[in-house]
Structure 1
Amino acid sequence: MSLPVAARMSRVRPNAIRELLRLGDDPAIVSFGGGYPDPTLFPVDELAAVYADLLTPAHANTLQYTASVGMPRLREQVAERLTKDGMTCDADDLLVVQGGQQGLDLVAKMLLDPGDLVLTENPTFLGALIAFNPYEPRYLTVPMDDEGLDTDALEALLAASPANVPKFLYTVPEFQNPTGVSLSLRRREHLVELAGRFGFVVLEDTPYRELRYEGERLPTLRSLAPDGRVIHLGSFSKILAPSMRLGWVLADRDVLGALTLLKTATDTQCSTLNMAATSAYLDRYDIDAHIGRICASYRHKRDVALAGVARWFPSSVRFTRAQGGLFTWATFPEGFDTAAFMSGRMIPEAKVAWVPGGTFFPVHEESNHARMSFSALPDDRLEDGLERLGALLREELGD
């Protein structure tokens, strides 16, 4: 039978990245598509010891329900880490969520009515658009450059229509997905000032913040906003293990109260076992040393990837050089269609895939970009895929 689905389902479309990840089942394809951590870097032995200890009669309560807001000890540990990072808080300022993605969904559910205005970077994280779209917002996009979101352009947009106040601005200030670019300090300060002046909320998404492997660590937007106007999202997915599905929301307590009610309605709580395991890991092991090892590996992979690009790709292709994170962003000459090129030539001829860039633009798609992730591939596969792809691009575009 044909179900009488809600009108909002017209905004729920297949996810281009998820469709591409199916290619991972084909060992012949070198995929630069998924923003996956390197599985060889997961702390498997330590987590095995933690789970083995928890799955005993003495710790049977880790298989029980717990508070919707999250286990108290884990929230205390996250609060300690965030306080050291300049965001003074305690356990009661935090909600544990199913990865940062659930945080995006809950904030959108709390704030958006159909037709409300959301500001985003251009391009922006596809997963955020997937979370926001069912709530039927309008989008206004802000251009980016090497310093991240262009706050001067944002100010001009806001001043041009002062009555059209956005509900919130969404940003990934560190090693942005998809571009890899970070927001400069002067623009962070300007963004927070604009939020106060024009009266909108900032949704700060920081899944890659800990993955800095060069350059100066910058303050979070939350730490720069004394009035609580910034809702801060973080995640263990990129620094511990994504399958544990744990992240957090840091916000003022009245905001957290509303988000907790929405989370209770959605899934009651995150996995007690996974929260207990994460907490035990933080108690027993040095996660900062683990993050240091991850960052060293990703810096090496980035350098291998960019060296391959310089060696094999046409000079007309431009790439970002991230100081952290998992991605580089490729820009091709005007008129080049990265989606058509992937389906028509890359996959059938070179057995290589990327994420076409058009899907990251909320309003007007730009077809001449692609997101490429270097994080999950070993060096030999990384270089082999880049060499194959480079040969095909030189054939298509020339040198």
Structure 2
Amino acid sequence: MGAVDAVLAAGDVGLVAEEGVSGRSAGEDAVGVGAAVPGFAERVTTVTSSPVRDILAVTSRPEVVNFAGGLPAPELFDTEGIAAAYRDVLAESAGRALQYATTEGEPTLRAALAARYGARGLPTDADGVLVTTGSQQALSLLATALVEPGDVVLVEDPCYLAALQAFRFAGARVVAVPGDEHGVDPAALDELVARTRPKFFYTVPTFQNPTGRTLPAERRGAVASVAARRGLWIVEDDPYGELRFEGDRVPWIASCPGAEDRTALLGSFSKVMAPGMRLGWLRAPAGLRRACAVAKQAADLHTPTVNQLAAARYLADRDLDAHVALVAAAYRERRDAMLDGLAEALPEGSTWNRPQGGMFLWARLPSSYDTAALLPHVVRHDVAYVPGAPFYAGEPDRATLRLCFVTQAPGAIREGLRRLGEGLRAAAGGTAGGG
């Protein structure tokens, strides 16, 4: 059995058992002598590894056209501008840049982030922002601050994978809210809030991961109304919102009447500056923000000072919006290349969406197909995608898949789709039904 087959055996994508996570103690697996050490916490044994991370681990060969990762295109990073920001910070204030900092974040960066929100119609004070080590940490901090084991957390269906991990790791009972191609159904949300009394509702309303869909403005207002009427926190994750190719910007849920005092709005530089800087932030009401700051003190004390100062310097010296516009233009070309080739690559009867921005496209094959079962066969043709099933908190749609269109140039996308079609046609005869 090859590496891909081992990871994706029986279609269970991502269920990779780490050494010692079987529930046995490490001492039992070592030399067989001496008293066994205590086993791992239950949360480690019940929360599985990320399917995306596992797929990337076995499809990292350079010849693979990888549509599986959510990786921004590295050739589009402003490496010169970022390098200059680090050089200037270290030349002018190395002692400060290499020192411990406050948990809440560097004041210059927090002020710059607040100003960016204000310029887009969401008045924000610098003290209203908590800098985090990537927006993924913000999810973990919110789960720590809000969730007791057994509490209900409501999510979109399908949902961002790493959010499902973070919430389940905190002991939450994750419940999916029904929706459609436009996003969550506010009436279904209202009914589930009344029935389950959740701690919060998590959403990526703009260019959602994994589907690429955008929640319309009227539904955002309805979600805010449900939160205000029922008593509910909203966690609004916005890592992709600046990557718009077409259409008008839709206001944040955080700006909707009724949501102002109950929304945690998350942002990130990972998709617009560089993910390796690991810089995100959390904009939230004072009480929740303070609770997350206490959780962050226990997690990592503070986000690296030098990265924060470099980002603040970049925002002061460079035009981030102009850079994002160049990135979005390139991503639009790549999206179009993928859209142009899907009809030939996917089986007859397949459907897919046309995202107005972001990084992902969502497709559904005919119902007889199981994309997890098909993946090992497709990878043998040096192309990869992410099966849709792991993104579902409830009953999965096994005919779905996620394609990331931004990492590859248009020529590579066309070649990748040719390989995808070849792999699906070769595999479909014996595996479409999950065999």
1:15 to 2:47 alignment: no
- CA-CA distance at 1:9 after TM superposition: 2.0
- 1:144–1:150 contact (8 Å) kept in structure 2: yes
- Match 2:75 to one of 20, 32, 40: 40
Match of 1:169 in 2: 201
- Match 1:209 to one of 217, 236, 241: 241
Q: Give, in whole Å, the separation in 1 of the partners of 2:425 and 2:41.
A: 47
Match of 1:373 in 2: 404
- 2:178–2:188 contact (8 Å) kept in structure 1: yes
Match of 1:316 in 2: 349
Deviations 1:182-222 (A, max 9, x none): 10011000000011111111100000010111111011011
Deviations 1:158-180 (A, max 9, x none): 45x2xx31110000000000000
- 2:152–2:175 contact (8 Å) kept in structure 1: yes
Question: CA, structure 1 residues 3+354, in 2 after alignment: closer, same or farther (shift >3 Å)?
Answer: farther
1:280 to 2:313 alignment: yes
Match of 1:354 in 2: 385
Q: Give, in whole Å, the separation in 1 of the partners of 2:257 and 2:293.
A: 23
Q: Give, in whole Å, the separation in 2 of the partners of 1:313 and 1:199.
A: 44
Q: Give, in whole Å, the separation in 1 of the partners of 2:327 and 2:117.
A: 20
- CA-CA distance at 1:107 after TM superposition: 0.2
Match of 1:222 in 2: 254
Deviations 1:118-167 (A, max 9, x none): 111110000101111111111221123222111122234345x2xx3111
Normalised by the size of structure 1, how large is the TM-score? 0.95
Match of 2:373 in 1: 340
Task: Specify the SS of the correspondent of 1:203.
Answer: strand
- CA-CA distance at 1:224 after TM superposition: 0.8
Match of 1:130 in 2: 165
Task: Specify the SS of the correspondent of 1:122.
Answer: coil
Question: CA, structure 1 residues 172+46, in 2 after alignment: closer, same or farther (shift >3 Å)?
Answer: same
Gaps of 5+ in 1: none
Aligned length: 393
Q: Give, in whole Å, the separation in 2 of the partners of 1:158 and 1:315.
A: 39
- Match 1:103 to one of 138, 163, 166: 138
Q: Give, in whole Å, the separation in 1 of the partners of 2:261 and 2:269.
A: 23
- CA-CA distance at 1:57 after TM superposition: 6.3
Question: CA, structure 1 residues 58+221, in 2 after alignment: closer, same or farther (shift >3 Å)?
Answer: closer
Q: Give, in whole Å, the separation in 1 of the partners of 2:192 and 2:47.
A: 28
Q: Give, in whole Å, the separation in 1 of the partners of 2:415 and 2:282.
A: 40
Q: Give, in whole Å, the separation in 2 of the partners of 1:3 and 1:365.
A: 35
Question: CA, structure 1 residues 106+58, in 2 after alignment: closer, same or farther (shift >3 Å)?
Answer: closer
The code of the aligned residue for 2:330 comes to: S
Q: Give, in whole Å, the separation in 1 of the partners of 2:141 and 2:300.
A: 11
Percentage of matched positions with identical amino acids = 40
Deviations 1:227-271 (A, max 9, x none): 411111010100000000001100111111111111011000001
- CA-CA distance at 1:14 after TM superposition: 1.4
Between 250-259 and 239-248, the greater mean CA deviation after superposition: 250-259
Q: Give, in whole Å, the separation in 1 of the partners of 2:40 and 2:62.
A: 38
Q: Give, in whole Å, the separation in 1 of the partners of 2:336 and 2:178.
A: 27
Q: Give, in whole Å, the separation in 2 of the partners of 1:30 and 1:48.
A: 29
Q: Give, in whole Å, the separation in 2 of the partners of 1:302 and 1:317.
A: 18
Between 53-62 and 360-369, the greater mean CA deviation after superposition: 53-62
Match of 1:325 in 2: 358
- 1:330–1:369 contact (8 Å) kept in structure 2: yes
Task: Specify the SS of the correspondent of 2:347.
Answer: coil
Deviations 1:343-397 (A, max 9, x none): 1x1012x111111111101122221111110111122211101011113334556
Task: Specify the SS of the correspondent of 2:177.
Answer: strand
Task: Specify the SS of the correspondent of 1:233.
Answer: strand
The code of the aligned residue for 1:18 comes to: R
| Aligned residue runs from structure 1 range 300-311, under 5 A | 300-311=333-344
- Match 1:150 to one of 163, 166, 185: 185
| Aligned residue runs from structure 1 range 254-269, under 5 A | 254-269=287-302
- CA-CA distance at 1:5 after TM superposition: 1.9
Q: Give, in whole Å, the separation in 1 of the partners of 2:396 and 2:428.
A: 21
Moved segments of 4+, more than 3 Å: 156-159, 394-398
Q: Give, in whole Å, the separation in 2 of the partners of 1:58 and 1:5.
A: 43
- 1:331–1:369 contact (8 Å) kept in structure 2: yes
The code of the aligned residue for 2:383 comes to: V
Normalised by the size of structure 2, how large is the TM-score? 0.87
Task: Specify the SS of the correspondent of 1:372.
Answer: strand
- 1:11–1:136 contact (8 Å) kept in structure 2: no
Task: Specify the SS of the correspondent of 1:140.
Answer: strand
Q: Give, in whole Å, the separation in 1 of the partners of 2:182 and 2:218.
A: 9
Task: Specify the SS of the correspondent of 1:25.
Answer: coil
Between 373-382 and 138-147, the greater mean CA deviation after superposition: 138-147
Q: Give, in whole Å, the separation in 2 of the partners of 1:185 and 1:11.
A: 37
